[in-house]
Structure 1
Amino acid sequence: MSLSRSENRRRSSGVPVGRWIIVGVLFVVLVCISFVLYIRSAEADYRAEANQAIRTAKQEAGLKKTDEAIKHVWDDTVWVVTGKDADGNDIFVWELPDGTVTKEKAADGLAKSQAVSRFREENGNLQIVRIIPGWFQGQPVWEIRYESDPSTDRETIVFYSFKDGAKLKTYDLPGK
């Protein structure tokens, strides 16, 4: 028995599976593109600040090549730009909010590895979470954040002077 024309039309009026797959794939692509654009716009201000810090370090401190720009926030927000000068010396440049620029040769200060060694002498093998250059009490420093109590995930921050490696201050942070 054959179907009537109206029954045949009713059966074929649905959207084919292939079109649903195409619509689904297009939707997933749209969501992915939207996510990428959102992330890019969310970090656009940070990138603009970092690029400005790099330009300032090149103009004011004479850096010829930059390695990285690090934003350090404590009492003030300071950008630390690392790189090389025309002579090939490793240089640290601290850019303060008032426009002041402090430039130091890496060789004239405490190296990152020396700061870690000094920390290990005082604290043993506690887990270091991060170590970054920063600005504290009006001078360049190394900030070391570490887990002071692994059982509670409590963290502590210690500041070491960049110039002579003296321990300046330790702050215990509230538990997580």
Structure 2
Amino acid sequence: MAERFMSESSSNRRRALQATAIAIVLIGAIGLFGSRFYQTVQEPHWDALSRAQAEAVQRLNLTRVDFVERFVGDRPYSVVFGANANGEDVAVWMWGEDGLHIERQQDGLTRDEVKALALKERPEMQLLRISPGKLGETYVWEVFYALREPGGTRKYYDYYSFRDGAKLETYRLALERE
């Protein structure tokens, strides 16, 4: 009887170890494939940012690049923030082969100033993102946020002029019901 108990106990341990090993291999495989999937999906975005940075450095002789962002409005834009050879902080919007617009950062609002404007107007907002962009022919800051409303949450896009912070437009998305 004791031998049978020892045999069953040993067999149960072996099965538990096998199940653990299989679980570890499956988790590892899911992690590996998930990571590759994420890289594959994000690679075009990362490439566009790298190309925009390299192009801005080459075409405009930027000596420093602080960050690069993508904005998709009426067309895709890359916006590069950095410093030119004169030491001026600049923001550069680039699109297509030759599209280029440069603003001195001191002539516009900073991300933090736009954040303060948006929160002053709607302090209850859940801020999701602030991005430089272009609305029509105006260079803007896009503020993307969510507000709780009766029955759910609604997301909004507010657009503020890059130069003076004037609020230009608000786009309201459909209510996400809870």
Report the TM range for the smaller structure's normalisation: 0.7 to 0.9
Asked whether the 8 Å contact 2:124–2:147 carries over to 1, the reply is no
Distance across 1 between alignment mates of 2:115 and 2:25: 50
Counterpart in the other structure of 2:117: 118
Secondary structure, aligned partner of 1:143: strand
What's the counterpart of residue 158 of structure 1?
A: 158
The aligned counterpart of 1:34 is 33
Aligned to 2:105: 106
Q: 1:29 to 1:100 in 2, by over 3 A?
A: same
- How far has the Cα of 1:54 moved from its partner? 0.8
CA offset digits 1:7-63 (Å, max 9, x no partner) = xxxxxxxxxx49947963455434432332222222111111111111111122222
Instruction: Tell which structure's C-alpha radius of gyration is larger.
Output: 1
Q: Which SS does the other structure have where 2:50 is aligned?
A: helix
Q: Tell me how far apart the structure 1 counterparts of residues 91 and 25 of structure 2 sit (CA, whole Å).
A: 48
Distance 1:114 1:147, change over 3 A: same
- Change in Cα spacing, 1:124 to 1:96, as seen in structure 2 (3 Å) is same
* % identical aligned pairs: 26
TM-score when normalising by structure 1 = 0.77
Residue 48 in structure 1 maps to residue 47 in structure 2: yes
Distance 1:119 1:36, change over 3 A: closer
CA distance in 2, matches of 1:30, 1:145: 36
Structure 1 residue 71 displacement after superposition: 1.0
Structure (1 or 2) with the greater strand fraction? 2
Give unmatched runs, 5+ long, in structure 1. 1-16
What root-mean-square deviation, in Å, do the aligned CA atoms of Structure 1 and Structure 2 show?
A: 2.6
Q: What do residues 80-135 of structure 1 show as CA deviations (whole Å, max 9, x unaligned)?
A: 11122234432211112353111112111112222123223433443322111111
SS in 2 for 1:36: helix
Partner SS for 1:63 = coil
C-alpha distance in structure 1 between counterparts of 2:63 and 2:121, whole Å? 37
Equivalent residue pairs, number: 162
Distance change >3 Å, CA 21–CA 170, structure 1 → 2: closer
SS at 1:75 equivalent: coil
